[in-house]
Structure 1
Amino acid sequence: MSLKKASLLVVLVLLIDQISKIYIKTNFYLGEEVKVFEWFRIHFIENEGMAWGAVIPGDYGKLFLTLFRIVAVFGISWWLWDSVRKKLSNFLITAIALILAGAVGNIIDSVFYGVIFNDSYNQVATAFAAEPYGTWFYGEVVDMFYFPIWEGNLPSWLPVWGGKHFTFFNAIFNVADVAISTGVGILIVFNKRAFAGSEE
């Protein structure tokens, strides 16, 4: 795959990611949900930017995470460029491009959204608000895809979780997360093809 095609893939994923996030941010209030199917809902939440809503404690945890991601993006970009230059597997190049697009997509939220939008608590946010909800590098990542495929109480005989309420699948995510997960999935499932021809 050429660098041009890989770059177009990154741009396409970024556009879909940002258009979907901006639409949700400017049309939903925080916590609002639309049931598409019983097992698929659009549910607007925001998070600090780590997987599964995890948070780095302390005043500078969020800043550290964002700066770390920016540094990582430079590393991933170099990996993409180097893989194209060496004419490595299309599986590998596609996976790297998806991971790069997803990482940049969530970085955009973290860096810019705090100074572009006002908050979404009990209201629909507006872009370029007079009173934005945050500062540079302290924006929240917008998530919206929710697939509660099964929900109910687990049998009491199960160890640890027995008798407790359980939802499968309870993660809420965005297009950028899908891109990263798909890229990683390609590297795992098609490992031999992805790294065929790579240097030791």
Structure 2
Amino acid sequence: MSLKKSILLIFIILLIDQVSKIYIKTHFVIGDDVEIFKWFRIYFIENDGMAWGTKISDFIPSISDRTAKLSLTIFRVVAIFGIGYWLYDVTRKQSSKILVVSVALIFAGALGNIIDSVFYGAIFNDSYGQIASFLPEEGGYDTLFHGKVVDMLYFPIWKGYLPEWIPYYGGKYFTFFEPVFNIADVAISTGFGMLIVFNKKAFSKE
């Protein structure tokens, strides 16, 4: 798979990701919930940290939330250059199509969430109790590099109380699948999943 085709794939994923996020941000209030199917809902939340809302400050309490957020965003920006070089390298070496597609998916997903983290705080106002505006006159809800990632895909496939015999979680109310995510997250997860499942083909010596 050529670099041009990889860039096209990245562009398509980025376009879908950003269009969906901007639509949700400018049409939904935080917490709005629309049922599509019983097992699939559009549920608007914003993620200020890493996966499942985890923050660096959760592990290092001495760091403020704002410093942790800035550090995470800078790390993501640095990481995307590394992933970008990896993509360039595997296409230059004409590596397996699975490897190239996987890296392209990871790059597209990472870049999609970086756009939120870097720019959304400056170009949107907040979504609490109101529908956000794009480029509001009073300014955004935060500064550059302090934006929150927009999530909206929610798949509560099963909800209920777990059997008592299950260790630790027995008798507790449980939802499968609990996390709320976005298109960029899907791309990253798919890319990593392909690398794991098709590891031998992706990293074949040939």
| Equivalent position of 2:147 in the other structure | 139
Cα distance in 2 for residues equivalent to 1:157 and 1:75: 46
Aligned pair partner of 2:190 in 168, 173, 182: 182
Secondary structure of 2:95's counterpart equals: coil
Do 2:164 and 2:171's aligned partners in 1 also have CA atoms closer than 8 Å? yes
Cα distance in 1 for residues equivalent to 2:115 and 2:51: 16
Do 1:3 and 1:81's aligned partners in 2 also have CA atoms closer than 8 Å? yes
Cα distance in 2 for residues equivalent to 1:160 and 1:109: 37
Do 2:152 and 2:180's aligned partners in 1 also have CA atoms closer than 8 Å? yes
Is 1:36 the counterpart of 2:36? The answer is: yes
Secondary structure of 2:70's counterpart equals: helix
Instruction: State the 1:162 CA deviation.
Output: 1.2
Do 1:43 and 1:145's aligned partners in 2 also have CA atoms closer than 8 Å? yes
* Length-normalised TM-score, structure 2: 0.94
| Equivalent position of 1:70 in the other structure | 77
**Greater Cα shift, 152-161 or 1-10:** 152-161
Cα distance in 2 for residues equivalent to 1:134 and 1:128: 12
Structural RMSD (CA):
0.9
Query: For structure 2, which runs of at least 5 residues remain unmatched after alignment?
Result: 58-63
Q: Which amino acid aligns with 1:34?
A: V
Runs of 4+ with >4 A deviation = none
Instruction: State the 1:155 CA deviation.
Output: 1.5
Cα distance in 2 for residues equivalent to 1:120 and 1:66: 21
**Greater Cα shift, 98-107 or 47-56:** 47-56
| Equivalent position of 2:181 in the other structure | 173
Instruction: State the 1:45 CA deviation.
Output: 0.2
Secondary structure of 1:98's counterpart equals: helix
Aligned pair partner of 1:156 in 164, 178, 185: 164
Do 2:124 and 2:133's aligned partners in 1 also have CA atoms closer than 8 Å? yes
Do 2:49 and 2:56's aligned partners in 1 also have CA atoms closer than 8 Å? no
Identity %: 63
Query: For structure 1, which runs of at least 5 residues remain unmatched after alignment?
Result: none
Is 1:20 the counterpart of 2:27? The answer is: no
Cα distance in 1 for residues equivalent to 2:165 and 2:96: 48
The total of aligned residue pairs comes to: 198
* Length-normalised TM-score, structure 1: 0.97
| Equivalent position of 2:204 in the other structure | 196
Do 1:49 and 1:106's aligned partners in 2 also have CA atoms closer than 8 Å? no
Do 1:89 and 1:197's aligned partners in 2 also have CA atoms closer than 8 Å? no
Cα distance in 1 for residues equivalent to 2:24 and 2:12: 18
> How do 1:74-93 and structure 2 match up within 5 A?
74-93=81-100
> Residues 86-133 of structure 1, C-alpha deviation per residue, up to 9 Å, x if partnerless?
010000000000000000000000000000001000111010012311
